[in-house]
Structure 1
Amino acid sequence: SYNILADNNARNHPDLYLDVPWDALRWDSRRRLIIHEIRHWDSDLVCLQEVDRFREIAAEMKNKGYECSFKGRTGDAKDGCATFWKSERLRLLEEDSIDFSEFSLRNNVAQVLVFELNGTQKFVLGNIHVLFNPKRGDIKMGQIRMLLERANALAGKWDGIPIVLAGDFNSTPESAIYKFLSTMKVKYCIRYFLHIPKVIVNSGYYRID
């Protein structure tokens, strides 16, 4: 799973990447390196977030035997979530998506898909890009809860199959969001709830070579 940084976001928010060389931000350079990274690992499943050049990536992936699904954000946003899977290994049985704006939870999106592996094992896959805003833990938790509800509903429909979650959760291992996902428990009070994210923003970056 990778957040690949939407080209539109990189261009519209240069203040966030002042210490990143422009060559590392240019879409032509990043697209080539992103595809190289994915091919290197040769995964059966690939989940991407901040995808705004879906057709370009999908064309590259289809040449390598992947099928794909995309859910774009609404409003002015140009990006969305994309899931790719190897057709020789996985079969898509059911597909659903969540547009959080329909529930007053901002314009983020998520995908919920049911796969069958090699004609035997079935599982639910959730792919989400959670809201970034460090001050809106309530929105973050609402998005996570809705994803879990939708994934659990599909898992139950298919006789209680396992659930796999992927995505950019915009949370650190020390955050309440992480603790909630790993324990299904969270302390609830107004002061604590509004500070759920505890996102640490740094000026570093990771370049795929």
Structure 2
Amino acid sequence: MSHEEKRHWERKFAVYSMGNSTSRLYSALAKTLSDGAVSKHQEYLEQTDPDLLDPIDPKDLLEECQIVLQKRPARLQREFVDLTANFARNHQPIRVMQWNILAQALGEGKDNFVQCPLEALRWEERKCLILEEILAYQPDILCLQEVDHYFDTFQPLLSRMGYQSTFFPKPWSPCLDVECNNGPDGCALFFLKDRFTLVNSTNIRLTAMKLKTNQVAIAQTLKCNETGKLFCIAVTHLKARNGWERFRYAQGSDLLENLKVITQEAKIPLIVCGDFNAEPTEMVYKEFSNSSLNLNSAYKLLSADGLSEPPYTTWKIRPSGECRHTLDYIWYSQHALKVSAALRLLTEEQIGPNRLPSFNYPSDHLSLVCDFSFNEDPDRLL
């Protein structure tokens, strides 16, 4: 960030000064406004101890993001659907958010969103749109894909809000082919330390036909501090593009085999979040549906029959035409866990004719958010 740019942001934030709290937040947020803020990410992370930094109140950070975004359209509003009919809840729900946030390098350099102005993709503001979406729903667990600003943005800020996190980059990230990239993209998993204790963490490089691939997953066993119960949360991002259906099937099968070991053949409840790059008609979807881990897809519960996936989770326009697909899922152990609420998707009218991303939505994928509760019947099978 140049001296002139820094003075611009100082003047802008001074207008909205709210005391010491704001000045602390400004220094945290402004530090991430420059793509070149961190040159050696791992060294930066090792030198930054979140316990030595002032905590951030999510409401204050949300206000700061809204100041940056004041010239953009207001955030698109979505409602939670209550799914708790005849369900007695005796512990605080676990809110899980799944989101492919769109890697900055890919959005600007490779993805060819022909109806999205380049100005809408500027990191200084798009970053705040991403944070605004996360802060609006305040997930207990956050599962992200296409994260290429983990070390200089999401880890520093979210750690100060009480999140512990893990990042696993792709071995050959396409972001690295883009000039002025910010490093490789990958999967990231965040959880609130006051709600959960990390028991085990596994980084998985997915295989297909016994060969290591460019796709990855993170699987963590957590203990719920309120109930003492264990569960496993996993995040992944499978291979994209048409013609790779068998490859995705092999990757999904490999992930399931790993998860069977981690959950001790389903003795530990499981939640799997991901951009599978696969429609419900694909083999990998059916493999998850029919797995011995007894998984169900949470967003099916929003359909009238409880059996159908949403009509889309991503909607964009590329040179080849309009791309409207259901690719993102939150799978869960359906006998051990219940979905007590789920966030509705944006409507076609809200998305608008130019589709995503846009000035008021930062990614080409919609976020999925669900509230989970443990089934209290100990005699039920997972």
Instruction: State the TM bucket, normalised to the shorter chain.
Output: 0.7 to 0.9
> Which gives a bigger RCO, structure 1 or 2 (Cα 8 Å, sep 6+)?
2
Distance between the aligned counterparts of 1:71 and 1:22, measured in 2?
A: 28
Aligned equivalent of 2:204, options 98, 101, 104: 98
- How far is the alpha carbon of 1:106 from its aligned partner? 2.9
* Equivalent runs, 1:69-148 vs 2, <5 Å: 69-77=166-174, 78-100=184-206, 103-118=210-225, 120-148=228-256
2:115 matches 1:12: no
**Structure 2 spans left out of the alignment, 5+ residues:** 1-97, 175-183, 293-313, 315-321, 325-353, 363-382
Residue 27 (structure 1) shift: 1.7
How much does 1:201 deviate?
2.8
User: Identity over the aligned pairs, expressed in percent?
Assistant: 27
Does residue 150 of the first structure (1) align with residue 301 of the second (2)? no
TM-score by length of 2: 0.47
Matched, 1:181 2:181: no
Q: CA deviation at 1:45?
A: 0.1
User: After alignment, is 130-139 or 103-112 more displaced?
Assistant: 103-112
Tell me, what secondary structure is at the counterpart of 1:39?
A: helix
Q: TM-score, with normalisation over the residues of structure 1?
A: 0.84
Counterpart Cα distance in 1 of 2:252 and 2:214: 14
**1:105–1:143 contact (8 Å) kept in structure 2:** no
CA displacement, residues 54-107 of structure 1 (integer Å, 9 cap, x when unaligned):
011111111211110010111354100000000000111101111236943531
Aligned equivalent of 1:162:
269
Give the structure 2 partner of residue 33 of structure 1. Answer: 129
Establish whether residue 58 from structure 1 lines up as the match of residue 165 from structure 2.
no
Q: Secondary structure at the match of 1:108?
A: strand
Residue 117 (structure 2) pairs with residue 21 (structure 1): yes
* 2:340 matches 1:208: no
Distance 1:183 1:101 in 2: 20
What is the CA-CA distance between 1:184 and the residue it aligns to? 3.3
The alpha carbon displacement at 1:176 in A equals: 3.3
CA root-mean-square deviation: 2.4
Deviation at 1:165, TM superposition (A): 0.4
Q: Report the alpha carbon displacement of residue 22 of structure 1 after superposing the two structures with TM.
A: 1.6
Q: Report the alpha carbon displacement of residue 151 of structure 1 after superposing the two structures with TM.
A: 1.0
> Which one has a bigger Cα radius of gyration?
2
Is the alpha carbon distance of 1:53 and 1:101 closer, same or farther for their aligned partners in structure 2, counting shifts above 3 Å? farther
Displacement, 1:167? 1.1
Question: May I ask how many residue pairs the two structures share in their alignment?
Answer: 194
Amino acid at match of 2:323: V
Amino acid at match of 2:186: G
Give the 4+ runs in structure 1 shifted more than 4 A: none
Aligned-partner SS, 1:177: helix
| Rounded Cα–Cα distance in structure 1 between residues aligned with 2:230 and 2:173 | 36
Residues 15-63 of structure 1, C-alpha deviations (whole Å, 9 max, x = no match): 2x11112222222222111111111111100000000110111111112
Which AA in structure 1 matches 2:276? F
Go from structure 1 to structure 2 and tell me whether the alpha carbon gap of 1:137 and 1:105 turns closer, same or farther (over 3 Å shift): farther
Q: Tell me, in whole angstroms, the C-alpha distance in 2 between the residues paired with 1:57 and 1:204.
A: 26
Unaligned runs of 5+ in 1: 186-198
